[in-house]
Amino acid sequence: MKQTVPKHRDEIRIRAVPNRAPDRREDGPFLPLSATDKVKLGHLGEIIEFKTPGTEIVSQGEKSTFLYLLTDGVIEADRTLHSGQRQILAFYWPGDTFGLAENGVYVNSASALTQCTVYRFPTQQLATFLLEHPTIQEGFLVKAVHDLRNAQRQIIMMGRFDVTERLAVFLLDCSGHERYFDASRRVLTLAMTRYDIADYIGTSAEGVTRAFSRLETKGLLRRLTPRTLELTTAELKAFVDFSDS
């Protein structure tokens, strides 16, 4: 289920679009981090592997002892209400951090959707470490702002888009991750169920299926299997009405 792997060290990298216009642009969607900073962070953290999809890694309401950095796999963060309703707040991809806390308590749960490997950092040590390493702290600040922008995109999506448009936005987000979108064949592989997607875009599983068939009717995608889709990102982008993207 869970296993420490001290042998190899995956590359430490943080996925974020910077606030300011970058002077260099060689790092793709990741923040520039000096080699020594990566080493220092690597020493502070610990690598964990989660072999079984579905494993809950952090649990809403529990004491927040670690901040996590995903290096491989896909993770889902959700909150469950008293009524039992579940809202998925984000899907995390390699380079994303998770384990959001308030007053020392996790506000969301997070579960692996695939096999995952993560770094985890003890929150106490991390806090003092960041004060001593301002450039790394800046990285985490930029990452937090990046996540804030993403959350705002999602608010717009929920507030102004119908279910079909929301699904299109979601699929576009997914196809931004090379590991799961084969750009040459234009095939997207989904790591999540209809229920997961529904709880993310604020509808029901049936609603997701119907939105899929409407997109298919419009010729914006083709379902090869329920979990593998052939799609053209340009056409989907033309379909949704973001002022950015």
Partner DNA sequence: CGACGAGTTGATACTAATCAACCCTTGTGG
Partner DNA sequence: CCACAAGGGTTGATTAGTATCAACTCGTCG
Q: Which is nearer to DNA, 40 or 86 (CB)?
A: 86
Q: What is the DSSP secondary structure assignment for residue 245, as one 8-state letter?
A: -
Q: What is the number of other CB atoms lying within 10 angstroms of the CB of residue 116? A: 25
Choose one: 17-25, 89-97, 138-146, 160-168; the region binding DNA (CB under 7 A): 160-168
**Residue 228 carries which side chain, given as an amino acid letter?**
T
Nearer to DNA, 149 or 227 (CB): 227
Residues forming the site for its own copies (CB under 8 A): 17-22, 60-61, 64, 79-83, 85, 87, 89, 100-104, 107-108, 123-124, 127, 130-132, 134-135, 137-138, 140-141, 144-145, 147-149, 151-152, 154-156, 158-160, 199, 201-202, 241-244
User: Minimum distance between the CB of residue 162 and DNA, rounded to whole angstroms?
Assistant: 3
Alpha-carbon distances of 223 from 43, 67, 183, 187, 235, rounded to whole Å: 44, 37, 16, 10, 16
Kindly tell me the burial class for residue 129, based on how many C-beta atoms sit within 10 Å of its own C-beta (0-12, 13-18, 19 or more).
Answer: middle
Secondary structure of residue 18 in the 3-state scheme? coil
Question: Smaller CB distance to its own copies: residue 103 or 184?
Answer: 103
Q: Pick between residue 113 and residue 126 the one whose CB is nearest to DNA.
A: 113
Contacts for 82 with CB less than 8 Å, ≥ 6 apart: none
Binding site for DNA (CB under 7 A): 162-164, 193-195, 202-210, 212-213, 223, 226-227
